[in-house]
Amino acid sequence: MKPAKAAFWGATALIAYTHAGYPLLLAGLSRLRHEASAPQRGVDTPPSVSLIVAAHDEEAVIERWVAGARTLDYPAELLEVVVACDGCSDRTAELARSAGADLVLELERGGKEAALNAAVAATTAEVVAFSDANALWAPDALRLLTGRLADPAVGYVCGQVRFEAADGSTNQEGAYWRYELAVRRLESDFAGVTAGNGAINAVRRAAYFPIEPTQGGQDIGFPFELTKQGWRAVYEERALATELMTPTIESEFRRKRRMMKFIWNTLLTTSLLDPRGYSPAYALEIYSHRLLRYSTPFLHAAAFLGCVASLRSGRIYRLALLVHGAFGAAVAAGAPGAPRPFLLARYYAAVTASSALGLWDWVRQGTSATWESPEGTR
């Protein structure tokens, strides 16, 4: 087979595999495995918990967050609410104290992970749980998270975030997120999740380790690092949190591009792609979901170029070029107010492009430990 044809067929097959074939393979393999950890329904004696949020200029939402933490269905004497102010220049610390936070740290600006590391070091609870300042947890969410940690093999558990759309939103993150969570549920049942969620997760103190501030964050770092240390990382879909999503596809593109710069740094400078310490099952998940998913823009480019170079080799390549053209037209037509299929096409293109541009940003700029809140989510 000529190189152009090999590029077209190989890239097309890998795109189809990572988006569709991999979830189907997981579903089949999960049914064959009998040792997948079953969800725990709770524990007789709940562990002590420090619920921590890193906040940078979050005066608009911090009182609501603290109030929500205080209404969780968890023994008050076992729950410590901690706000780590990351170089705040507004009234975040003052409002957090007045709202009833147990511990408020006023730190120099060092980024989210540095603030969380400092907060954990200042606490002694058996479990450390983490949230975003704009995330609201369901009353039973913390009990459900700690219930999974009742399994001594589990070191990390993340919950489910449901994104609420603002009025007039054109963002299609909700559709993508439902797909992503379905894959996460399958991974959790099979060998463990390959990513979590920074808005709702918990780690047993014995498993916690400080996250490097310039890495991809807890949601990427904890699952694979703890797996290498012999812990299991799981997903508890019944533990719910809600967040306001960014209002437009364009704002979601900017958010994901910023995230991908950190993720590429983790992918290329840590041991995430090193199979040592993984079971074969978990290695399959890492390469299928993380490496191939993040490489999708480059696979699309290879498929397109291979298709163009093979046009004289048969009708199938001309048909494939028409499919590429039709998709490009759908992306161009996916402006606000367009039918949902066009918005989904535009969203997919934006998310795919964000991975390539995030890599470009990382190569040119490296990473910074600090961050700004995504527009329209407060």
pLDDT digits 0-9 by tens, 276-308: 999 999 999 999 999 999 999 999 999 999 999
Domain locations along the chain:
49-247
At which residue do the structure tokens 């049914």 appear?
A: 31
Contact 253, 374 (CB under 8 A): no
Q: In Å, how far are 42, 132, 241, 268, 332 from 118, measured between CA atoms?
A: 29, 16, 24, 26, 46
Q: Regarding the domain delimited by 49-247, which CATH topology (the fold level of the hierarchy) does it fall under? A: Spore Coat Polysaccharide Biosynthesis Protein SpsA; Chain A (3.90.550)
Burial 134-165 (b: 16+ CB within 10 A, else e): bbbbbebbbbbbbbbbeeeebbbbbbbbebee
The residue-averaged pLDDT of 16-23 equals: 97
Question: Does the structure show a pLDDT above 90 at 159?
Answer: yes
Instruction: Give the pLDDT band of residue 218 (cuts 50, 70, 90).
Output: confident
Q: What is the pLDDT of residues 245-262, one digit of tens each?
A: 787 888 889 999 999 998
Lowest mean pLDDT across 30-34, 120-124, 126-130, 208-212: 30-34
pTM of the full predicted structure? 0.90
- What is the chain's percent helix, strand, coil content, to nearest 5? 50, 15, 35
Cβ-based neighbours of 181, under 8 Å, separated by 6 or more = 160, 235, 237
User: Which segments of 217-369 does DSSP mark as H helices, in order?
Assistant: 218-228, 249-269, 280-285, 292-294, 296-309, 315-332, 340-365
Question: In the structure, what pLDDT confidence band is assigned to residue 217 with cuts at 50, 70 and 90?
Answer: confident
pLDDT 10s digits, 338-359: 898 998 999 999 999 999 999 9
